[in-house]
């Protein structure tokens, strides 16, 4: 099973697209986990209206008692995840219907613990631009000590949490959490 975690905080104008795209995945063994980070708008009302539209997909909401920020919302998802895999979908993003299926195929074929997807930046709903892979002209090479990144390095390597499929054993066995305002990174 794969958990698609969506942290939600004050994204009312566009929050409906993220959960719809998560629920519409062609890969069916999923759970949609929404982390309510206590926003002041109607974002969570919209999410709560969407969830019953997909009765065949496991879903749940975890609510913070107060706003803790994006890093802690992701940590809440890591700690609550009961699946073998975790994917972070930001509440202002969407996924193609085959995104999880394609990521799982890559994970299975390569026996990887992190699969990084590509993304499109959309400035206007009708206009796509900046279609890119986060690791162009790079490759991973297996060695006995783990994975090494080889090839041309980018001037700046994107280290966002979203758009990646993580094997939960990697995160939990190594105590990996995301950076929060209250704590230093544990990586």
The CATH number of the domain where 35 resides is what? 3.90.550.10
Please choose, from the candidates 134, 142, 184, 136, the residue with its C-alpha nearest in 3D space to the C-alpha of residue 161. Answer: 134
User: Could you report the per-residue pLDDT of 162-184, keeping only the tens digit for each?
Assistant: 667 899 998 888 887 766 654 44
User: Could you report the per-residue pLDDT of 71-112, keeping only the tens digit for each?
Assistant: 999 999 999 999 999 999 999 888 889 999 999 998 888 888
Please choose, from the candidates 108, 110, 151, the residue with its C-alpha nearest in 3D space to the C-alpha of residue 133. Answer: 151
Domain of 164?
Answer: 2-126+158-173
The reported pLDDT for the residue numbered 101 is 93
Q: How many domains does the chain have?
A: 1
Average pLDDT along the chain: 79
What is the rounded CA–CA span in Å between residue 20 and residue 15? 9
What are the phi and psi torsion angles at 2 (to 5°)? -120, 130
Is there a contact between 167 and 107 (Cβ–Cβ < 8 Å)? yes
Collapsing DSSP to helix, strand or coil, 113 comes out as: coil
Residue 185 has pLDDT above 90, yes or no: no
Establish if 38 belongs to a structural domain.
yes
Establish if 85 belongs to a structural domain.
yes
């Amino acid at each position: 099973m794969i958990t698609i975690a969506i942290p939600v905080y004050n994204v009312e104008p566009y929050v409906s697209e993220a959960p719809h795209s998560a629920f519409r995945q062609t890969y069916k063994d999923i759970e949609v986990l929404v982390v309510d980070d206590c926003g002041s708008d109607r974002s969570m009302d919209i999410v709560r209206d969407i969830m019953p539209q997909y009765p065949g997909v496991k879903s749940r909401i975890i609510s913070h008692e107060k706003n803790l920020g994006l890093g802690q919302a992701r940590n809440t998802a890591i700690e609550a995840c009961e699946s073998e895999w975790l994917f972070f979908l930001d509440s202002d993003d969407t996924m193609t219907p085959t995104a999880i299926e394609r990521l799982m195929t890559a994970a299975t074929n390569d026996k990887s613990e992190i699969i990084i997807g590509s993304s499109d930046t959309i400035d206007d709903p009708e206009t796509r631009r900046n279609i890119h892979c986060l690791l162009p002209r790079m490759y991973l090479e297996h060695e006995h000590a783990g994975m090494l990144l080889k090839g041309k390095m980018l001037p700046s390597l994107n280290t966002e949490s979203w758009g990646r499929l993580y094997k939960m054993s990697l995160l939990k066995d190594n105590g990996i959490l995301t950076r929060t305002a209250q704590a230093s990174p544990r990586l």
